[in-house]
Structure 1
């Protein structure tokens, strides 16, 4: 029956699709992208976040109606998920404890050979440990009402957490999530990757004004790109952040064994430093820089991340997924609990220090939250979105010094230094989310 339905879609839909601007490239790539996104997201949702197969599939099909026709095979003993689409394409993603899921590719064994021990979980007070004793009852009731209202309106909020003056004063969870549930942050991983590059700079292993060490860039105009340009997404590379089959972002994330390799191969389009272009490819290039500077293997980069980032920040329930090449997918695939995401924001709020340890320099935090010099989108720092820098504020009802990590499905860590405040929102919203209104309401209540 599914094949009959699909055949009907193809026969009756192609003429309309081509007339509507959907190209043969789109149609050719659609099956591979569909099974790629299906296997990857279902695997991580089930084996990293621990969500049910039913909820995982409901989340997946929000991206495209064609995904409802996927055949899905879970193998709990092997911890794999295989998806197929009418025999046109089949993809398997495997789960590795501590490393999460990624699509399997022949000849790529970096993840299988990794030796990973779990990060310790502490019973000390947050942000070092898991103990929270600072809940404000009035704020808690307000947060519970917000989450209930969100989900009554179909916004799928799963975690909402508020940190005021360094303490968690309220946290509310729904839809199968709890304080220990690692949830996908999508592009909030970019902000973490910025911190990881900042840690290299703090340790004297990186200078933002130097060129990345990619041999393929030395022979053309890409030789003029500096790490600072990558951090502010003004590198000038030709990369499409559209999420249609055949576009760069979908090819990189769902059909390629090396996300960073795909991005490094993109040609130059603009002079570096002149044009902002939001690019998940750029974030994965930063991941490759981290990979190269910390030893050039998954084992080396993983050990460095655990020693200098995850350990000092005290991530308790977090997984940073590498691709089949063994490089962290710094654009997209960091799963963490709301409390862990809040730790990242609190570290930035405290000028680069958390749990008594300096992660990045105070100057790095300043540079990260300063507008860039592009001609088209200045309200973006080192992989952080800024409220100021453009002609109008991004969030009109929030203080000018607010900045945020943001991700698909309306994930956010909002940091407001003038209010000594960090707010984390995690969920699965397919449309817009009233983040300005929600945070303004929380700010006013705390005042």
Structure 2
């Protein structure tokens, strides 16, 4: 079990002793590494850990109503080991603060309709954030009688064959049952949804969840950002082969980077992704230390010819959202209103949002918070080639761009993963169809789309045993495709 502290006072000698003993432990993020991180590497990761913890606790508990103690113990603490041995966690009515011995605290502030935003803990920064004007969108009235995706009706399980129902029931029983009591080895599946032929045919949640609780999509937000860009492309606000036009790049050697380059994850900019495993990679530095994430990412130097080198990056998705914000008018209210009115409202998405940084820019690479049924709607939009209820939300040509291989990577399209990708187990990859594409996020968030078979599968959760969680969802897809 992980010792969890609330705000209090310790003697310096006790703090120093605990800090040393904790830093000599192996963190969860390094358990799959071949070497144990050094003491200096662990110490460097602690500031990022406090930021990660504050934001995670706020988003998963304060913003969604999940049980704070359970989130802290089961979801946040296992990720940021050894930090929980010496952290101080303080929760207010709409904020969470996490600090550690000798380090400045990090604070996440919750605002209804916007979710949580991470800042350095100070009264001035908090006052500035709370002073930002904002008006939340009013969600459409829930239509409980009309089936998904056009209403909020429950899953139409009668559309399943007996064989497919058995496959799904067996998969759900496995995915929603833990075999380990070690928090760092759990899969923590929270939602399993399946759409077939445009109908929601299966919907299961873990005991503490239901369809109305938003869940963090992590890097599935990158694909959401690409969909917002697609709406702007249809509205004539951008063109794939035109320069992105980011204000910070004007007059620099980055001014020629196109939307196609950026959405293909090939703008030629320097970036080290890292995957939230340490405090020294660019992604962790940006997300948990920078209050204007766009400005920080935009300053990265150009190191390759745009369009030639694939480099997966949370920063590049943030830059895309930053420019979308400029195209929407420049304010956080304007980009929020744009994606709510032009993408979410037509799809019937209720209460979803992308959490912003302190500058007001939605964190387009990582912080989308939607209900699972609404994440599934985004997958269905891709499966529908951009059409929804007879109307074009996206141009079909834009969806084809998203699903086609980029010039720099055959396994990636326009902020959308695709077959063949080396990120899937080789034995399963060989059984999956060539037109399969998928959203994917940290801790094994997945929306798997097989357009030729009219199938969309969603898995969400907080996986620490990522190999098992990944295999479970793609084995399910293989099994479903084998059954009529």
What's the TM-score once normalised by structure 2's chain length?
A: 0.84
SS in 2 for 1:41: helix
Question: Where does residue 284 of structure 2 map in the other structure?
Answer: 250
Contact 1:143–1:172 (CA<8 Å) still a contact in 2? no
Hey, what's the Cα distance between the residues in 2 that align with 1:2 and 1:126?
54
Contact 1:217–1:223 (CA<8 Å) still a contact in 2? yes
Instruction: Count matched residues.
Output: 436
Determine if the alignment matches structure 1 residue 127 to structure 2 residue 149.
Answer: yes
1:394, CA displacement in angstroms? 8.1
Determine if the alignment matches structure 1 residue 196 to structure 2 residue 228.
Answer: yes
Contact 1:122–1:128 (CA<8 Å) still a contact in 2? no
Determine if the alignment matches structure 1 residue 386 to structure 2 residue 418.
Answer: yes
Contact 1:35–1:89 (CA<8 Å) still a contact in 2? no
Determine if the alignment matches structure 1 residue 182 to structure 2 residue 214.
Answer: yes
The range that moved more, 350-359 or 229-238, is 350-359
2:168 to 133, 143, 156: 143
Question: Where does residue 416 of structure 1 map in the other structure?
Answer: 450
SS in 2 for 1:170: strand
- In structure 2, the CA distance between the partners of 1:266 and 1:394, relative to structure 1 (3 Å rule), is farther
- Computed over aligned residues only, the root mean square deviation of the Cα atoms, in angstroms, reads 2.5
Q: Which residues of 2 match residues 40-439 of structure 1 at below 5 A?
A: 40-57=55-72, 58-69=74-85, 70-76=87-93, 79-104=94-119, 106-107=124-125, 108-109=128-129, 112-123=132-143, 124-132=146-154, 134-136=156-158, 138=162, 139-140=164-165, 142-150=167-175, 151-153=177-179, 154-242=186-274, 243=276, 244-374=278-408, 377-388=409-420, 395-430=429-464, 431-432=466-467, 433-434=470-471, 435-439=473-477
Deviations 1:7-59 (A, max 9, x none): 3455899xxxxx977585x4564332121111101000002232211221121
The unaligned stretches of length 5 or more in structure 2 are: 1-13, 27-34, 180-185
Question: Where does residue 16 of structure 1 map in the other structure?
Answer: none
The unaligned stretches of length 5 or more in structure 1 are: 14-18
Which runs of at least 4 in structure 1 moved beyond 6 Å after TM superposition? Answer: none
SS in 1 for 2:48: helix
What's the TM-score once normalised by structure 1's chain length?
A: 0.91
Determine if the alignment matches structure 1 residue 440 to structure 2 residue 478.
Answer: yes
Deviations 1:214-258 (A, max 9, x none): 344344432331111000001111111013212210111111112
